[in-house]
Amino acid sequence: MFELASSSSLCSSFCLLPRTHPALIPSARSLGIKSGRGSDSARDNNIYSSQEEALVSWIQKDIAACEQELSNVETQIALLIRRKEQIEHSLSRRKSVLSPIHRLPRDVLVEIFRWAAHRPKNSLDVTKGVWPLGQVCGWWWDIVVTSAILWSVVILKPPYMRHSVDILTQHFCRSAEFPLWIVVKCGEIMNGGRVFDMVIQKSALWKMVGIRASSSIELVKLSSASGNIPLLEELYVSTTWKERFSTDALSSAPSLRRVDLELMEISQLPLNAGLLTHFSGTFRRLADIQYIAQIQTLIEILILISDDPDEPLESDNLLPVRMEKLQFLSVNDTRAIPVSICFEIF
């Protein structure tokens, strides 16, 4: 019924081909068809047709037999595949006994990874933090790549290279839409500027942001995020060139709880920070403190005075402020004594 046919192609496999042996092909005599001499053409045609019909019928039966054989082979293949999968699953379970870490639930491993990479020194260093965890095994790689929370802490420090943008892009891609804790120290304009722009573009996901600005450019960009910081709870801004951060950016921060600003420029816009409880800032004029005193939810205020130490501070416009929730008030300069007097702490 079948014969082995060697392949002439690059592979050395073989296949089963149906074979019709000449001896198996029925003859006209075996089919009961008589031949005679002197028959007319019509009779010859009838005999020929009968022979062909008999051959077709026999070949069809041969094909049906081949199809049955193929069906049996396919059934055996399916059974072998299922058996192989069962064996592989059993092997995986046996290996888990030898490697207990693989038996830990996914959520437990995620918490372990979070602890291990809680405060990376620099998220752009792919040899530290969460990056190397995915290189241990395939199981860890799947967890690291698909767990956005592991990529939610971003620490950025110069020097910034060309590949820094690519690394940060991959980092933000893995953090997906998870709220972000970001600390960034601004560097040189070219690559550092591109990195900072990427941070600003993620402002809608900020939960905590700490920025060490090197010029007024970063402060302007930071102010541009106003109106797009719905999740921001903590903001820390410091400068290196005595640049002042405008409080305009705080006019639309509904979730803000804690603010620490070095030098600031008081805005005319009212603060929309109904949850703000902690404030630390550097003031040039005592009168500007009235602006912060409008926030009745504050429980802690740290006031730093930045001015010429030989000149008295302007305090003529200070009026008593009643803050029922305020629990702690600190000033760094004796010239700011009028400030502590004007606050009524309960």
Give 12-72 as a DSSP string.
--EEEEE---GGGSPPTTTTT----TT--HHHHHHHHHHHHHHHHHHHHHHHHHHHHHHHH
Is 80 inside a domain boundary?
yes
pLDDT at 317 over 70: no
Task: Please tell me the total count of domains within the chain.
Answer: 2
Question: What does the pLDDT read at residue 8?
Answer: 41
| Res. 307 pLDDT band, cuts 50 70 90 | low
Q: Which two tokens stand for residue 227?
A: 């109106």
Q: Which two tokens stand for residue 214?
A: 């090197």
Question: What does the pLDDT read at residue 148?
Answer: 95
Q: Decide which of 172 and 309 is more confident.
A: 172
Which of 85-89, 185-189, 270-274 has the highest mean predicted lDDT (pLDDT)?
A: 85-89
Counting residues of the chain whose pLDDT is more than 90, the rounded percentage is 32
Is 69 inside a domain boundary?
yes
Is 227 inside a domain boundary?
no
Is 59 inside a domain boundary?
yes
Q: Which two tokens stand for residue 328?
A: 């702690």
Question: What does the pLDDT read at residue 106?
Answer: 87
Question: What does the pLDDT read at residue 195?
Answer: 93
Q: Which domain holds residue 57?
A: 25-98
Report, as an integer, the average pLDDT of 196-223: 91
Question: What does the pLDDT read at residue 12?
Answer: 41
> Maximum distance among all alpha carbons in the chain?
142
Domain boundary among 98, 125, 150: 98
3-state SS, one letter per residue, for 214-281: CCHHHHHHHHCCCCCCCCCCEEEEEECCCCCEEHHHHHHCCCCCEEEEEEEECCCCCCCCCCCCEEEE
Model-wide pTM > 0.75:
no
**d(Cα 175, Cα 158) in Å, to the nearest integer?**
21
Question: What does the pLDDT read at residue 102?
Answer: 66
Domain boundary among 66, 83, 98: 98
Question: What does the pLDDT read at residue 182?
Answer: 97
Is 116 inside a domain boundary?
no
Is 3 inside a domain boundary?
no
Is 60 inside a domain boundary?
yes
Least confident of 6-15, 213-222, 240-249: 6-15
Number of alpha carbons in the 13 Å side-chain half-sphere of residue 224: 12
Pairing of β 321-323 and β 300-305: unpaired
> For the segment 82-91, what is each residue's pLDDT rounded down to a tens digit?
999 999 888 8
Is 174 inside a domain boundary?
no
Domain boundary among 69, 98, 127: 98
